[in-house]
Amino acid sequence: MTPSLPPPARPHIVPRLGRILIVDDEERLAFAYRRFFLARGYEVEWAPSGEAALRALDEIGFDAVFSEIAMPGMDGPALLREVRAKHPDVPFVVLTATATIETAARALEDGALRYLVKPVTMPDLLRAADDAMSANLAARKQRRATQIASYHDEEEATRSERMGHIASALASVYMVYQPIVSVALRRPVAFEALARNSDPRFKNPAQLFGEAETFGLVQPLGRIIRSNVVEVAEKLVDDTRLFVNLHVNDLDDATLYDAKAPLSRVAARVVLEITERGSIESVQGVEDKVRALRALGYRIALDDIGAGYANLNSLTALEPDVVKLDMALVRNIHEHGTKQRIVSAMVELSRAMKIDLVAEGVETKLELDVLMGLGCELFQGYYFARPGPFPSKEPPK
């Protein structure tokens, strides 16, 4: 049965509308909000607690926070005060099913942008998101203008320092590998190459890629990654494949299509996994570029399928050879009938389109058992192995 997803509110997806953090200990409701926002072009993450939300804000950064008031541990009001103190430019939208005049007034006094009473209508939710993005943009512009007016020389020095940091990080990039396992074959059928670096300022890979985007260094980073994985690709035996992440900006890099490039020589063993799917529409002639990659021998993969309209749009535009399920669908799937129905539909769709489907982010046997029961055959996640050095074929000494 095809799952019923909320239709897009706009006739086209606008990439990079903003990044929203949903904070709610009720996972089912948070997942519904996430699907809704993803379908409208927003990037969305979920935190099950106030403490987890603060960690995500510190490590990743968001343009807006939508938070339930009543949560165990750090509740919504406490989280609101922490966010206002540490991230003053990030708008905060309160969600609650137990509204009172006093709680609403207190939330607004503490700096909440909006106060929404559950059940929240979809138009109200979308208006709140749009208002939050506008408020965030205005705050950032104001802060930027103040910095430029007051600390121009200092900012230039800071930018130069940041350039030095990202250059140092790029020089220290190395790769780790995580297996993609066929339970039926009882062995890995592929490995995903994941970029890491030795600079302590970029412990989170998202920070490295975010700073590379800021300074226009995505393509140089992509070249480093592709250069670093060649040796492993050459070691692969039989029909084992290597998944290599490809930012959409890499599709505009002429070196990617060079038949004499080292990775091109082993293209038949490589699956290029395209990330940042929300930006695919910004790439001119993307279908022709994907055809050129296939002509070199590469296969194409898309990740986070099932997360929203933008991903399904990419599925029809690129016709990938492999898709990866959104990890939010996999997490605790044994407890959620809706997730199971969506995954079942994705399995059926992938089979009809002759696409290999990988269930990514498997962490427990309960999740694995349900996914296998739904027809999934390929798996990746901590349950099997964490990312690490490529396994050596040499016997231990």
CATH number at residue 127: 3.40.50.2300
Longest dimension (CA), the chain: 70
One domain for residues 37 and 72: yes
Handedness of CA 323, 329, 333, 336 (dihedral sign): negative
- Domain of 370 in residue numbering reads as 165-380
- Which of 91, 110, 69, 83 shows the shortest CA–CA distance to 20? 91
104 pLDDT more than 80: no
Decide if 2 is inside a domain.
Answer: no
What's the average model confidence in pLDDT over 225-240?
93
One domain for residues 123 and 182: no
- Which of 262, 253, 256 shows the shortest CA–CA distance to 233? 262
What's the average model confidence in pLDDT over 4-16?
40
The span from the first CA to the last CA of the chain, in angstroms, equals: 53
Decide if 11 is inside a domain.
Answer: no
Number of residues assigned to the chain:
397
- pLDDT per position as a tens digit, 139-178: 888 877 766 665 455 556 577 788 888 888 999 999 999 9
Rounded Cα–Cα distance for residues 280 and 323 (Å): 16
383 pLDDT more than 90: yes
H-state helical runs in the chain = 27-39, 50-59, 76-86, 101-109, 122-150, 152-171, 205-214, 218-235, 286-296, 309-318, 327-330, 337-352, 365-373
Q: What is the DSSP letter of 118?
A: S
Handedness of CA 367, 369, 375, 377 (dihedral sign): positive
Decide if 396 is inside a domain.
Answer: no
One domain for residues 199 and 336: yes
62 pLDDT more than 80: yes
110 pLDDT more than 80: yes
Q: What is the pLDDT of residue 276?
A: 60
What's the average model confidence in pLDDT over 292-305?
92
Decide if 157 is inside a domain.
Answer: no
The DSSP bridge pattern shows strands 64-68 and 356-360 to be unpaired
Identity of the residue numbered 322? V
Containing 23, the helix (H) or strand (E) segment is strand 19-23
Greater pLDDT, 371 or 285: 371
How far CA 224 is from CA of 104, 172, 175, 221, 298, in Å, comes to 51, 10, 10, 5, 18
Mean of the per-residue pLDDT values of the chain? 86
Rounded Cα–Cα distance for residues 63 and 4 (Å): 28
CATH number at residue 320: 3.20.20.450
Greater pLDDT, 382 or 284: 382
Rounded Cα–Cα distance for residues 93 and 37 (Å): 14
One domain for residues 134 and 169: no
What's the average model confidence in pLDDT over 3-29?
64
One domain for residues 85 and 211: no
At 92 the three-state DSSP class reads strand
Greater pLDDT, 267 or 2: 267
Q: What is the pLDDT of residue 368?
A: 97
One domain for residues 140 and 171: no
What does the block give as tokens for 261? Answer: 């490039």
10 pLDDT more than 70: no
Q: What is the pLDDT of residue 150?
A: 54
Decide if 178 is inside a domain.
Answer: yes
What's the average model confidence in pLDDT over 355-377?
96
Structural domain total, the chain:
2
Decide if 153 is inside a domain.
Answer: no
Q: Answer yes or no: are the C-beta atoms of 45 and 69 closer than 8 Å.
A: no
231 pLDDT more than 90: yes
One domain for residues 57 and 114: yes
Q: What is the pLDDT of residue 70?
A: 87
Rounded Cα–Cα distance for residues 29 and 189 (Å): 36
Decide if 132 is inside a domain.
Answer: yes
What's the average model confidence in pLDDT over 40-50?
91
Rounded Cα–Cα distance for residues 60 and 264 (Å): 33
Q: What is the pLDDT of residue 5?
A: 41
One domain for residues 140 and 275: no
1 pLDDT more than 70: no
What's the average model confidence in pLDDT over 22-49?
91
- Min mean pLDDT across 45-54, 303-312, 340-349 is at 303-312
Q: What is the pLDDT of residue 148?
A: 62
Q: What is the pLDDT of residue 140?
A: 80
What's the average model confidence in pLDDT over 120-131?
89
One domain for residues 241 and 347: yes
92 pLDDT more than 80: yes
Decide if 101 is inside a domain.
Answer: yes
One domain for residues 143 and 171: no
One domain for residues 48 and 171: no
Handedness of CA 357, 358, 361, 362 (dihedral sign): positive
Q: Answer yes or no: are the C-beta atoms of 91 and 132 closer than 8 Å.
A: yes
395 pLDDT more than 50: no
One domain for residues 120 and 184: no
User: For the chain, how big is the Rg over CA atoms in Å?
Assistant: 22
Greater pLDDT, 47 or 1: 47
| φ, ψ dihedrals at 395, nearest 5° | -65, 145
